[in-house]
Amino acid sequence: MKFFADTAEIDAIAELNELGILDGVTTNPSLILKSGRDIVEVTREIAALVDGPVSAEVVAMQAPAMIEEGRKLAAIADNIAIKLPLTWDGLKACKALSGEGHMINVTLCFSANQALLAAKAGAAFISPFIGRLDDIDLDGTDLIADIRLIYDNYGFDTEILAASIRSVNHVTECARLGADVMTAPPEVIHKLAQHPLTDKGLETFLKDWEKTGQKII
């Protein structure tokens, strides 16, 4: 499974990238707002920092304007994935921009039928939002399983990018179900290394080591 960081915070991206676990980055208008940065400036900086895809989202609602914005975003760097909403106009823009050779991430997917349309329109990535489905008392990971089955049935190359990840359990389940990618906030990625038994074991080892009176260095 590929790991993408869902953030526009440069320091957090740099830390994960240095560890060697980061395969890409996803941003959206809300994350750009949170960063307080200019969208072109911060997107260019992120794209220069990581080797993998960096998703940058259009804000237009109509296909012609989406296509125009998408081209401008793609011009920022070679590893930009143009992020388009899963609307009819978004699908039109996906077809046009993917036909020009651009990498497309179709976002805000909440059904298997939507994912099927995105794959047929040429999307490189489909982003099912599992956390938001959980918010309305549906199991978001069921959608990952449905899309995986459908894509495998027909040999679609579109990668399943599990989004709206809220917990370490989401990550585990998405990996178990065969999502190609997961994108999560840096704080969730950090939590993947945490376990209370690890902490307890380390505490015991350190207490016993102190009793030996020895030093390694």
Q: What is the mean pLDDT of residues 2-18?
A: 97
Binning pLDDT at 50, 70 and 90, where does residue 22 land?
A: very high
Q: Judge whether residue 88 has pLDDT over 90.
A: yes
Rg of the chain, C-alpha, whole Å: 20
CATH of the domain at 40: 3.20.20.70
DSSP label at residue 123: -
Residue 102 contacts residue 76 (beta carbons within 8 Å): no
| Calpha distance 122→139 (Å, rounded) | 27
- pLDDT, tens digit (0-9, with 9 covering 90-100), for 94-128: 999 999 999 999 999 999 999 999 999 999 999 99
Per-residue pLDDT at 155: 98
**Of 83, 120, 207, 215, which is the active-site residue?**
83
- Please indicate, yes or no, if residue 159 is contained in any of the structural domains: yes
- Following DSSP, what letter does each residue of 45-67 receive, concatenated? HHHHH-SS-EEEE---SSHHHHH
- Following DSSP, what letter does each residue of 142-202 receive, concatenated? HHHHHHHHHHHHHT---EEEEBS--SHHHHHHHHHHT-SEEEE-HHHHHHTT--HHHHHHH
DSSP label at residue 129: B
First-last CA distance in the chain: 38
- pLDDT, tens digit (0-9, with 9 covering 90-100), for 29-58: 999 998 999 999 999 999 999 999 999 999
- Please indicate, yes or no, if residue 217 is contained in any of the structural domains: no
Q: Is 83 assigned a catalytic role?
A: yes
Amino acid letter for position 38: D
- Please indicate, yes or no, if residue 117 is contained in any of the structural domains: yes
- pLDDT, tens digit (0-9, with 9 covering 90-100), for 151-176: 999 999 999 999 999 999 999 999 99
Range of the domain at 74: 2-212
Q: Judge whether residue 25 has pLDDT over 90.
A: yes
- Please indicate, yes or no, if residue 146 is contained in any of the structural domains: yes
> What mean pLDDT, rounded, does the chain reach?
97
The count of domains in the chain is: 1
Q: Judge whether residue 217 has pLDDT over 90.
A: no
- Please indicate, yes or no, if residue 57 is contained in any of the structural domains: yes
